[in-house]
Structure 1
Amino acid sequence: MHRYSRHLWEGDTFHRGSDKMPGRVVTLPEDREGCTWGVAYQVQGEQVNEALKYLNVWEAVLGGYDTKEVTFCPQDAPDQPLKALAYVATLQNPGYLGPAPEEAIATQILSCRGFSGHSLEYLLRLEDFRQLCGPQAQDEHLTAIVDAAGTKLPCFCPTEQALALV
């Protein structure tokens, strides 16, 4: 998606955090120079209502995201853009945390767990996906947070536990 960048600027008090300690999850702020790699799923027929109902609960009700129509450029056909729905947090969203230094975000991620699991798992899965997309999917913000989390991890748990998490 052109004109969007991926940032861990959204607070999550359900999936990856709690009311006392919100986790950090991704949102896609508009960015004229940005490009975010991701996956689009095509649903048809009866699947449309079912998928939207599920996603609206998961992303909008529980996650606090707004639904936005975006232009998605498939990797295998970049000259044939598609319309897609994306879930984004806006500045008006009560869960929106906004920018922070990468080290502070990493510390927050290492400290949080929600109903869907530990925030570190979310971060590492996001980084795994980014790497699968290839070198064109560079994301300095994400890489800096992963690096900071890796540096801080031994401070949060004994070495044997830290190695089991990664």
Structure 2
Amino acid sequence: MRAAERVVAALEARGATLAVAESLTGGEVSAALVAVPGVSAVLRGAVVAYATDLKAGLLGVDGDLLAGHGPVHPEVARQMAAGVARRLGASHGVGTTGVAGPGPADGQPAGAAFVAVHGPSGTRVRHLTLAGPRPAVRAAATGAVLALLDALLEDERAADRRAPAPAPGRPAP
């Protein structure tokens, strides 16, 4: 089963929802997800915020952070993932930002990227150093963020299994 299929199945099993914020990947994460039958049960929507001002205005990324560090920064990815979840009313969010190439941008080399996932159990950010032409960089970032979300959802499932069962006659918290 592909990562996108596992993610959709895991979100549906939890009764959870997903929102996607993309910059570097330009819609590829959303496309991978919507290729999965039944995704409409979990996907709330997506925002492709390629321009830096849209990251602040639409997704709530801190403007001072963007001005001081640029859009290719781990905290920007984290805020994109949390911001899109909040903005679109989803339990989980993902964010991608980076430089697809062919040359450097915003003081970062081609292939520098950050992906982030956000959920009730917290936020995770991964730094990527990717090689290859634009399509390869974008595809690798798409795979990385879906794998990161898959891992977060697996950890949430494991935590649910470890949680104590409610006492007989008492509702679960």
Same fold (TM over 0.5): no
Which protein has the bigger helix share? Answer: 2
> What's the TM-score once normalised by structure 2's chain length?
0.25
Task: For CA contacts below 8 A with separation 6 or more, give which structure has more relative contact order.
Answer: 1
> What's the TM-score once normalised by structure 1's chain length?
0.26
